[in-house]
């Protein structure tokens, strides 16, 4: 009976997030989702994801942390067996992982089958023997991994501060909340200062191929895109979104009923090319991949995630009233995710 009630509550939360689908999420609901765990039915999955970008130097420094769990007893994660212990509330087994790109090389923090504890506004675990902690409440959080990562997050200085989204087509659905902010602290004993993105995702759905990316520029403007594809190399999309946030002019430019193409050029360097066009707007962006990290998941469905640390090499946006190039925005930092079966 408790399990049925818990699954019902998970679906209720998905429905609640699907009614928001934007930035009008209050602090109470955002932190309620961020600092809780769901009862997962078959096909259920849940994860916490953190990205940090250092914007002070010439090199594109960034880091990522992950806590992942799914319905079932075990799975292969990067070739290693990881176990789960079902739907225990507030304490459960999960996969923890992370990496740091210091501008020259990617430093892998490893993969761990860790016990995760959630207590009020704290998530506690470990990564390769280092204590992992996510704590606080919107907009102020603390992220730490032993003595390796020590970051304080505060309210974003851009137009994009927080949001909540949900897609609910019973019995399937996915929901997520995002807290965007300013990150200050230390990583590997060096100063880290820039932007942060803390996300919690949960839902009931099979794995699937997609692209996701988010780039933040020196002037605080942001471009983000997402497409759910029919196959690894397909240009046919079930769902797509493309958004540019003009932080200088306080304007959000959303592409509607648009054509989207995502391709890559491989030579001495790897570049991703993003092209979007609707009746009134056109965007062209080239992203240089500086480093990548691959996550392979098998068991209860298979998925490969490739995380790319990227910077924009070129940018062009045309609307009825403006023309924006990369030199108007300044340098940029971001992540592109390439996921497929």
Q: pLDDT tens for residues 140-156?
A: 999 999 999 999 999 99
Based on the domain organization, do 191 and 232 belong to the same domain?
A: no
* Rounded-to-integer distance, Cα 278 and Cα 256, Å: 6
Arithmetic mean of pLDDT over the chain: 95
Based on the domain organization, do 127 and 214 belong to the same domain?
A: no
Both tokens assigned to 218: 């020196």
Q: What is the CA radius of gyration of the chain?
A: 19
Based on the domain organization, do 157 and 222 belong to the same domain?
A: no
Supply the range of the domain harboring residue 307.
207-341
Each residue's pLDDT tens digit, 275-285: 999 999 999 99
Handedness of CA 267, 269, 270, 272 (dihedral sign): negative
Based on the domain organization, do 9 and 103 belong to the same domain?
A: yes
Report the percentage of the chain scoring pLDDT > 90.
90
Neighbours of 144 (CB within 10 A): 19
Task: Flag whether pLDDT at 14 surpasses 90.
Answer: yes
Each residue's pLDDT tens digit, 154-211: 999 999 999 999 999 999 999 999 999 999 999 999 999 999 999 999 999 999 999 9
For the purposes of burial, counting CB atoms within 10 Å of the CB of 325, is it exposed (0-12), middle (13-18) or buried (19 or more)? exposed
Strands (E), 35-105: 44-54, 62-70, 74-77, 80-83, 91-101
CATH of the domain at 27: 2.40.370
Indicate the pLDDT class of residue 1, thresholds 50, 70 and 90.
Answer: low
Lowest mean pLDDT among 55-59, 207-211, 260-264: 55-59
Based on the domain organization, do 198 and 160 belong to the same domain?
A: yes
Based on the domain organization, do 225 and 285 belong to the same domain?
A: yes
CA 239 to chain centre: 17
Based on the domain organization, do 201 and 211 belong to the same domain?
A: no
Question: What pLDDT was estimated at residue 85?
Answer: 84
The DSSP 8-state label assigned to residue 231 in this structure reads S
CA distances from 224 to 37, 250, 336, 338 (A): 27, 16, 10, 14
Based on the domain organization, do 318 and 340 belong to the same domain?
A: yes
208 close to 202: Cβ distance less than 8 angstroms: no
Based on the domain organization, do 180 and 91 belong to the same domain?
A: yes
Based on the domain organization, do 81 and 132 belong to the same domain?
A: yes
Indicate the pLDDT class of residue 4, thresholds 50, 70 and 90.
Answer: confident
Question: What pLDDT was estimated at residue 292?
Answer: 96
220 close to 68: Cβ distance less than 8 angstroms: no
Based on the domain organization, do 223 and 75 belong to the same domain?
A: no
* Rounded-to-integer distance, Cα 8 and Cα 12, Å: 6
Both tokens assigned to 117: 């504890």
Question: What pLDDT was estimated at residue 2?
Answer: 77
* Rounded-to-integer distance, Cα 223 and Cα 264, Å: 18
Question: What pLDDT was estimated at residue 86?
Answer: 61
Question: What pLDDT was estimated at residue 107?
Answer: 97
The residue out of 205, 238, 273 marking a domain boundary is 205
Both tokens assigned to 70: 């799914």
- Split into its structural domains, the chain has a count of 2
The residue out of 175, 205, 235 marking a domain boundary is 205
For the purposes of burial, counting CB atoms within 10 Å of the CB of 124, is it exposed (0-12), middle (13-18) or buried (19 or more)? middle
Query: Residue 58: what are its φ and ψ, rounded to 5°?
Result: -80, -20
Both tokens assigned to 244: 């540019």
CA distances from 84 to 36, 74, 95, 201, 276 (A): 17, 5, 9, 17, 41
Each residue's pLDDT tens digit, 84-137: 986 566 899 999 999 999 999 999 999 999 999 999 899 999 999 999 999 999
């Amino acid at each position: 009976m408790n399990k049925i009630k818990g699954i019902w509550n998970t679906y209720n939360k998905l429905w609640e997030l699907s009614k928001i689908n934007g930035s009008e999420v209050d602090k109470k609901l955002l932190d309620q989702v961020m600092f809780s765990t769901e009862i997962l039915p078959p096909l259920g999955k849940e994860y916490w994801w953190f990205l940090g970008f250092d914007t002070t130097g010439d090199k594109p420094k960034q880091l990522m942390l992950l806590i992942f769990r799914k319905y079932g007893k075990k799975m292969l994660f990067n070739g290693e067996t990881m176990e789960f212990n079902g739907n225990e509330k507030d304490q459960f087994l999960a996969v923890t992982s992370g990496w740091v790109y210091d501008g020259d090389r990617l430093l892998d923090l490893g993969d761990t089958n860790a016990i995760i504890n959630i207590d009020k506004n704290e998530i506690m675990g470990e990564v390769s023997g280092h204590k992992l902690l996510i704590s606080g409440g919107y907009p102020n959080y603390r992220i730490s991994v032993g003595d390796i990562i020590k970051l304080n997050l505060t309210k974003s200085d851009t137009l994009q501060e927080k949001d909540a989204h949900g897609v609910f087509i019973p019995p399937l659905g996915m929901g997520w909340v995002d807290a965007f902010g300013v990150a200050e602290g230390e990583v590997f004993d060096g100063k880290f200062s820039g932007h942060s993105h803390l996300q919690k995702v949960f839902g009931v759905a099979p794995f699937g191929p997609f692209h996701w990316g988010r780039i933040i520029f020196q002037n605080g403007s942001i471009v983000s895109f997402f497409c759910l594809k029919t196959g690894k190399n397909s240009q046919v999309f079930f769902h797509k979104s493309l958004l540019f946030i003009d932080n200088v002019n306080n304007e959000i430019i959303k592409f509607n009923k648009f054509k989207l193409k995502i391709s890559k050029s491989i030579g001495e360097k790897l570049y991703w090319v993003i092209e979007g066009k609707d009746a009134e707007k056109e965007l062209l962006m080239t992203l240089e991949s500086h480093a990548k990290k691959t996550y392979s998941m098998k068991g209860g469905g298979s998925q490969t995630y490739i995380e790319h640390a990227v910077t924009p090499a070129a940018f062009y946006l045309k609307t009825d009233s403006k023309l924006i190039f990369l030199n108007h925005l300044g340098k940029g930092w971001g992540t592109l995710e390439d996921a497929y079966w």
